[in-house]
Amino acid sequence: MVVNQLIKHLTTVVVGLALLFNQHALALTTVTASVDKNPVTITESLVLTIIADDDVNANALDTSALLDNFNVGRTSVSSQTSMINFKTSRITRWSTVLVARQTGKVTVPSFSIENKKTTPIEITVLAANDNSGIKQQDIFITNEISSNNIYVQQSLTLTVKLHFSTELKRGNLSEPTLIGANILQIGKDQESEQLINGKRFRVIARTYTINPQESGEFTIVSPRFSGEVMLQSTRRSNFSSFAQTKPVSVVGDDITLTVRPIPVDYQGQWLPSEILTLHEEWQPDIDNFKVGEPITRSITLTVAGLSKEQLPKLVVGVPQGLKVYPDQAALHSSLTKERLVSQQVQNFAIVASRAGSYELPAITIPWFNTITNKIEQAQLAAQKIIVHANADFPEDAATINNNVIPPSSLNQLKNTKVTNFLVAQNSWLQWLFLTLWLLTSFAWIISTLIKRKRNNLNLSSKSQGVIDQNKTTDAYDILTSACKNNQAEQVLASIVPWVNNLAGKEHSVSNLDEAIKKINNKDLVNEIQLLQQSLYGKNPSDKQSKWQGNTLLSLIKSITKKGITTSYQGKLNINP
């Protein structure tokens, strides 16, 4: 009994001594601080590592003291426990990315963790253009700008190059920033290799266009790269060591920029550029200009140092007797010899309604030369053209209010009888129309005979001014059928007969213009304008298939139901 109690007391003493020994062995004894490089350039980051030889609270480290001399990046915390020969050891590690705020000697201060302090570290910070500093760098950023003295709204290009000689694990390159400016990346990243001070670097280049919207002195803040690089290790057999990474953060030099205001004597749309040119082409040749046949005038505006959104709208004026139909402008920008070049290409279809000599007015665009600092003008000189007669478009029939109208409408006579029909050679569309017209005429004759027979059987008296609905049936049916089938030329050929049957013989019309005045409906005018543009604009054979007759059909039904009440007295200007 006494022996057992003695053994129990001895065991308690041994366990207590062991616990006391282990507690003393695992207590925090040292805290150390180190950096991964010294010296370092002003644009280069370094990693500060602080290690405590115990399991310590992650919030025990306060890095606010670093803010006086450094830009402080993210801080990562890790802990590790190991046991060797029944001996347990624990460490806590903090890693912080730092970038110095100024060149010269700066100090990483001492840190205190549970009353244990680190030793201060003095860092040598070199200028970015210091060759000795570049030799120490594995990754850095350079910035190249096209000009640092420009005018407001003038575009400049900034090329940012990321150089690295180590393997990147991951990373992100931010964009440059400038207050009051539009910044846009141009194209895709370009990769290359470069040898610097005997060291080979991979280079990723990214180009931006910058448009300052305000004048004054500004600073373009350089992009920053943040990421991780692979650490090289001689212990190839140790997988965890071989795959270890290190955080990095580098930033390029900021760029000062002077933006000058618009000169007080400049008039018109502001176009600051190194060069601005105008060029024109004609297709077909301008010497072969005939009545009724469209000719295309292509104008190209090329500007350096402006974005495509800043280009002015091109306007072409024409004298009376000509009609112009502009296409939508084609805009694009590209980078040429590190300069932004924008271009606008626009086609204008010109149609003459009568033969003769015409002079197209000059096209002038004022702009400001940023090299000579003078106002200049780009100009296309006045162009004289001669329009020849066209047998398929006689002048006496091709002009109504100086507007080109379809040949089919020119042949409408007072009694809606066609005396002739013109077919252009090698024009399958007009041959098709001729066939349709013959079929329509045949149907017209038959319907007229039937109508007369019905009128003989039904001779009821009509009050003056009241229109017999049966009288309008034939022309109405032909016109509505053409609208339903989207037959643009047939519609134009059928409008005059339809109006004549509505108005009666005493108020009949002989052409499309008189018919529109008689109807006096603005919506109808608009629809006929769209129809004529589809037939006589640029590439009529392509546009004809796009015309739809649903809207015009609804108007015709409504007008037929209400009848004609007044005559339109205003001046009409129907564009073909």
Asked whether the whole model's pTM tops 0.85, one would answer no
d(CA 517, CA 522): 10
SS3 content of the chain, % helix, strand, coil (to 5): 30, 40, 35
Q: Which CATH number fits domain 31-126: 1.20.1070, 2.60.40, 3.60.70, 2.60.120?
A: 2.60.40
CA distances from 220 to 45, 180, 211, 393 (A): 20, 11, 12, 64
**What architecture (CATH level 2) is domain 138-260?**
Sandwich (2.60)
CATH topology of 31-126 equal to that of 138-260?
yes
d(CA 504, CA 500): 6
Q: Which two tokens stand for residue 425?
A: 């050679």
Q: What is the pLDDT of residues 107-135, one digit of tens each?
A: 888 888 877 788 888 888 887 666 555 55
Rounded to the nearest 10°, the torsion over CA 469, 470, 476, 477 is 140
- Other CB atoms within a 10 A radius of the CB of residue 557 amount to 13
Which numeric CATH code is attached to 272-387? 2.60.40
Q: Which residues of the chain have pLDDT under 50?
A: 14-15, 17-25, 236-242, 396-427, 456-472, 540-544, 566-576
Using omega within 30 degrees of 0 as the cis cutoff, is the peptide bond preceding 284 cis? yes
Question: 3-state DSSP call for residue 489?
Answer: helix
> Do residues 563 and 467 lie in contact, with contact meaning Cβ atoms separated by under 8 Å?
yes
d(CA 542, CA 536): 11
Q: Which two tokens stand for residue 156?
A: 């400049």
d(CA 329, CA 323): 18
d(CA 520, CA 569): 8
Q: What is the pLDDT of residues 466-507, one digit of tens each?
A: 334 444 457 788 888 888 888 888 888 888 888 888 877 777
| 89 contact partners, CB below 8 Å, separation of at least 6 | 53, 81, 82, 83
Half-sphere exposure of residue 13: CA atoms within 13 angstroms, side-chain side: 6
Name the residue ranges covered by the structural domains of the chain: 31-126, 138-260, 272-387, 403-458+465-562
DSSP H helical ranges for 458-521:
473-484, 488-503, 512-519
| 113 contact partners, CB below 8 Å, separation of at least 6 | 28, 31, 50, 52, 56, 60, 61
d(CA 392, CA 389): 9
Is residue 35 exposed (0-12), middle (13-18) or buried (19+ Cβ within 10 Å)?
A: middle
Beta pairing class for 272-273 and 363-369: parallel
pLDDT at 136: 55
